[in-house]
Structure 1
Amino acid sequence: MGNYFILVIGVIYLIGAFIIPKWRRKKIKQNWKFFELLWFSICFICYVIYLEVQLHSFYFFIPSFFLLVFLFSYFKEKRRLINGLLFNVFLVVGMTYLGVLVVRTTNPLLVVMAGITGVFLLLSALIGLYALLVFLYWNAIVVLRKEGHSLANLLTLLLAIGLTIFLIFSYFSTTILPSWAMTLFGILPMLMFYFFAVFYNFLTISTIYQFNQPRYNQDFIIILGSGLIDGKTVPPLLGNRIDKAIQFYQAQKSATQMPPKLIMSGGKGDDEHLAEGAAMKAYALEKGIPEQDILVEANSKNTLENMKFSKEIIEKSSESSTYRAIFTTNNFHLFRAGLFAKMAHLNANGIGAKTAFYFLPNAFLREFIAIVVMRKRRHLIVCGIIVAAIIALTLFDYFFVGLV
């Protein structure tokens, strides 16, 4: 009976894995990889539940509870940083549960998966930080070569240099520092661990937010502006945002014959010859978008103003008090833009335009720093508690342990 069930699950999974790409090719949004991952997850969960039933236990309700908590929070409000933490808590609980299940069942499939995971974690522990350093230095060289030597483009290089200094000092600190100083030096790794956890949660929800799939019933699409080349020309980064909006515009028009209005949002900077919104409109007109489907917001200076002023245009242009809107920006900026939409009381989620891979590490670091600044009071309190606790341990070590 057990082998029969496993065979049935395997056949059902293979049939679904074969059908999904063909099914998605007929859709306007062909994101078949997401559905392949979802299908694998569903089949794997069914298999795990079957193993639990065989053991006459129901521990799978524990990770299921944490998954439901995450899903409830996420679909209630996608634009919340805590969603990243909730998902990671679910992952930790889920991995712990699967580890216990491996020991209880010695199931071959779970043992193989646990072995692969264990090897990955071991390699990450042994060489992960050094591999990260190599990657950061390589990425810094590529970014500086292609994007210029601005401070914003130096973030991966500065992080790599900082981690290198930390590793070198950590290696020699045990021989040159007394015990109490070593305890005090623990402030730095503790703060690094805290901000790594915050960054990981941010990266998690930013990645999940990329899977946002708005329906083809939108009334407006807000395109967030950025700087212009020579103060007048749409750069590739901004062009990708507009192209993403046009792609959705054409898809909705094809599906419903009711295309949304495009709101080109961006004011005129001090070094620009015209407002970004005007340049963006010209770009969209060249792409064949009718002028009557384009609205221009030309007063904003930052993303929050993009959202606020676009909301005013929507409320003036909308025929009813209820409207449906989304926004487009580059994928690395997507989640923070969602936070600004929330701050502006604009009920809109985003869709992200692709960005060159080499640009993403530096861009995500920049976004993370901006997120930390947005919540600086919270982080200062946590950092203050960490510093105070370690200073207290240092004083204890110096006055009590050191005298023994």
Structure 2
Amino acid sequence: MGKIQVNPRKIQISTILWRKLPGLKIEENVFMKDSPLMDDLNVETKEQETTLADEPDWKQLFMDGMENREKALLTEYTSILRNYKEVKKKLSEAEKTKGDGLFDAMVKVRELKSANAKKDEKIQFLHQKLILLQAGLGEDSESIKSMATECPTTEKEVTEDIKVALMDQPETISEIEKRFRMSVDEVLEENLDFWLRFSTTFQQIQKFETEVQDLQSELLKLEEKKRIEDGSSNAKYSLKSDAKPLYNYLREIHTELTVWLEKSMQLKDEVKGRFSSLCDIQEEITAALKESAEDDEFKFTSYQAAKFQGEVLNMKQENNKVADELQAGLDHITTLQLEIERTLAKLNEEFNLAGSKNRQNIQLPHSVSRSRVPLRSFIFGTKPKKHRPSIFSCMHPALYRRHFRSGHNA
């Protein structure tokens, strides 16, 4: 016999109808117990109950009313939203942690690459230096080429090889090189001493300019005062008393400028002598190189000659710069001294300040010379002294002649 197909929904409806009819209560029990299709129905209902166990009882919610259903829906939506936010937060934290780790890894990789590149450059440099050192020791070209093609092993090994090569290489310095080195070092030491004296001398120029400018401003005030108080004898005496300290101060500055010019002329002569000595050293280097080229031993190479020639050329350039600056300072101080001389002559002409002092200077040696007469002058007589030209006439003859003429005319 074939299996009978029974619709469970029809059986459920029939059971409901039997429950409604009180007279059919016995048949209901019999049918429920003896029906062969109840096993399948129970299995399906159990499966539906297990699937709907996690879901809310919508039928009960519908029977309770709209208010409870809305509350349940709101609670369910809130829990779902909270779970979604927690999952999203955990996901963002995981992505951030992963991104930070990736960034740190990239930074470390970049640092390692940079460190490796620097080490490679240093190793290559040391390797090339080792090749040059071994080439200087007299190795053949084939071994040098083979060493150049080989890759360096480690920095420590290369450094050790260089130390060994330097220890094995003898320090041979020829007599010619020693002689030129001593000459150049001697000139360098002289340059240090000269620079010290030159800087000390040049710092005084600014001081002289400031002092002369201050005195010029005071003289302008004196002229203005003279213009206002012109004609009065008391005013003339007062102006003379005011002009006398200015006159004395200008004479002191004039003396200091004279001393400065003498020292600067000595420095100028020293600069010329140093330039000639540097030229002599250059000629000696050239002659020594020619002599070494004629010999077979090559005691003095062209590389050594070029090195000394470069040092001497640099010193010559510095010497020329110093000479130009020194000449500019000499010209400036000479002009300043001529201005002071004109100012002194003008003050002497207006107030007659140098007359009493000159007479005193004349009488004082005369009174002293009465008690002390040199024996040589008493026996042989005195010879007239030759007039020595001033240092300013040697430096600026035209300016000196102009000032000398103006002084005689005054």
Q: How would you bin the TM-score normalised by the shorter chain?
A: under 0.3
Structure with the larger helix share: 2
Relative to its length, the structure with more strand (as a share) is 1
Compute the TM-score of the two structures, normalised by the length of structure 2: 0.21
**Which protein has greater RCO, CA pairs closer than 8 Å, 6+ apart?**
1
Structure 1-normalised TM-score?
Answer: 0.21
Larger Rg: 2
